[in-house]
């Protein structure tokens, strides 16, 4: 049983350093090329690790990648709301400077204890992390002896990864989950082992001037 965890590719929100949680954001021109390369990589990976199940975040920057992979493989896929990115509430879609201008006191309070402070209209990281844990627990019996592809977000992949490796929440910062990255976790008998964490060769992408 293996989990293949995939982060979406570059969007304008990423390029502009925005706190894009539930806020939609289109791919940049570079992101469009990244998506093409990532889908090709995942289709090739399916030959080595056949995907039995495909789950996706319903947010379009992740959904479109899962949808394209499923179409290429002629497989069904399942959107799941729990795989959405962290909800930044009143700060969602803003840059850090914009968020501080909106509510500096709330920003400072959140920064002091982001794992437990719930943002107005949003959530806190502990609840978010527990949501990922519940997702994994619910599907554990179904996923036994199956390989599961999950296409989602940086926060989602971080949380799923440390849950699968049975590590504390703060250990997520030891893993650099880059845009368009692929993380493979092998789970024999439910014991998670990190098998691979890599990105396709996005540096080779050349955009027309």
96-113 per-position pLDDT tens digit: 999 999 999 999 999 999
What are the residue numbers of the active site? Answer: 8, 85
Q: Which CATH number is 181's domain given?
A: 3.40.50.1240
Average pLDDT, the chain: 95
Is 126 in contact with 116 (CB distance < 8 Å)? yes
**Counted domains in the chain:** 1
Round to whole Å and give the CA distance between 199 and 97.
Answer: 30
> Is residue 108 included in any domain, yes or no?
no
> Is residue 119 included in any domain, yes or no?
no
* 139, pLDDT greater than 90: no
Percent of the chain with pLDDT over 70: 100
Q: How confident is the model at residue 84 (pLDDT cuts 50, 70, 90)?
A: very high
> Is residue 45 included in any domain, yes or no?
yes
Residue 12 assigned ligand-binding role: yes
Beta bridge partners of 198: 182
* 3, pLDDT greater than 90: yes
Q: How confident is the model at residue 159 (pLDDT cuts 50, 70, 90)?
A: very high
Residue 130 assigned ligand-binding role: no
Domain span holding position 23: 2-89+124-204
- The dihedral through the CA atoms of 93, 97, 98, 99 has a sign that is positive
Percent of the chain with pLDDT over 90: 89
Residue 10 assigned ligand-binding role: yes
Residue 8 assigned ligand-binding role: yes
Q: How confident is the model at residue 190 (pLDDT cuts 50, 70, 90)?
A: confident
> Is residue 175 included in any domain, yes or no?
yes
Query: What pLDDT was estimated at residue 208?
Result: 77
The pLDDT of 156-173, averaged and rounded, is 93
Is 134 in contact with 33 (CB distance < 8 Å)? no
* 73, pLDDT greater than 80: yes
Interior angle at CA 59, CA 18 and CA 150, nearest 5:
110
* 209, pLDDT greater than 70: no
* 142, pLDDT greater than 80: no
Closest Cα to residue 81, out of 44, 134, 10, 41? 134
Residue 82 assigned ligand-binding role: no
């Amino acid at each position: 049983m293996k989990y293949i965890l995939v982060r979406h590719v570059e969007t304008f929100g990423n390029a502009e350093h925005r706190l894009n949680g539930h806020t939609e954001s289109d791919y940049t021109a570079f992101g469009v090329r990244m998506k093409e390369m990532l889908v090709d990589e995942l289709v090739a990976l399916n030959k080595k690790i056949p995907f039995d199940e495909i789950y996706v975040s319903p947010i379009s920057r992740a959904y479109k990648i899962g949808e394209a992979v499923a179409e290429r493989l002629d497989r069904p896929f399942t959107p799941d709301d729990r795989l959405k990115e962290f909800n930044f509430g009143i700060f969602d879609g803003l840059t850090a400077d914009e968020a501080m201008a909106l509510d500096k006191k709330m920003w400072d309070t959140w920064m002091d204890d982001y794992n437990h402070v719930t943002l107005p209209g949003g959530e806190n990281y502990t609840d978010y992390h527990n949501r990922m844990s519940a997702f994994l627990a619910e599907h554990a019996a179904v996923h036994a002896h199956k390989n599961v592809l999950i296409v989602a977000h940086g926060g989602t992949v971080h949380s799923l990864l440390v849950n699968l490796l049975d590590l504390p929440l703060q250990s997520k910062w030891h893993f650099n989950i880059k845009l368009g990255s692929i993380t493979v976790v092998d789970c024999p008998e439910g014991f998670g082992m990190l098998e691979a964490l890599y990105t396709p060769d996005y540096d080779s992408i050349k955009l027309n001037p």
